[in-house]
Amino acid sequence: MRVLIFVLPIALLVAYSQIVMKWRTLSSSDTIGMQNLDFFARMLKYLSDPVILSAYVAALLASFAWLYVITKLPLVVAFPVYIGVTFFFVIIGGWVFLSESINIMRLASVLLILTGIIIGVKN
């Protein structure tokens, strides 16, 4: 349980950053003129978007929090939990906020990962 308490906020911040970046890049590419911009102009446009900047701030905060977590927990426990929980949140967030599909294989993958996390944390 201690592992989840440490890792959960980090996973939420990372999932937020990934979902928001995907959402904003999709909505920005629909805007008139974005398709005609070259790579660097498009990146500058993204970097001036306050919502995308919030995603980068969330990822930076998650990185700093991760530095703290790995001083308190064994890496062989913390890292798999972090990856698995983040994977779960991104799939659910993509489904809820981006209308991405969840098929039976993706659902089975998430269930297997979460089962592995539960087994791994108990030992």
Query: Does position 65 have pLDDT exceeding 70, yes or no?
Result: yes
- Average pLDDT of the chain, as a whole number: 89
Global pTM?
A: 0.84
Contacts of residue 86, Cβ cutoff 8 Å, sequence gap at least 6:
10, 11, 14, 15
Measured distance CA(11)–CA(6) in Å, rounded:
10
Which pLDDT tens digit goes with each residue over 26-52?
876 655 556 677 888 888 888 888 999
Domain boundaries, given as residue ranges, for the chain = 2-122
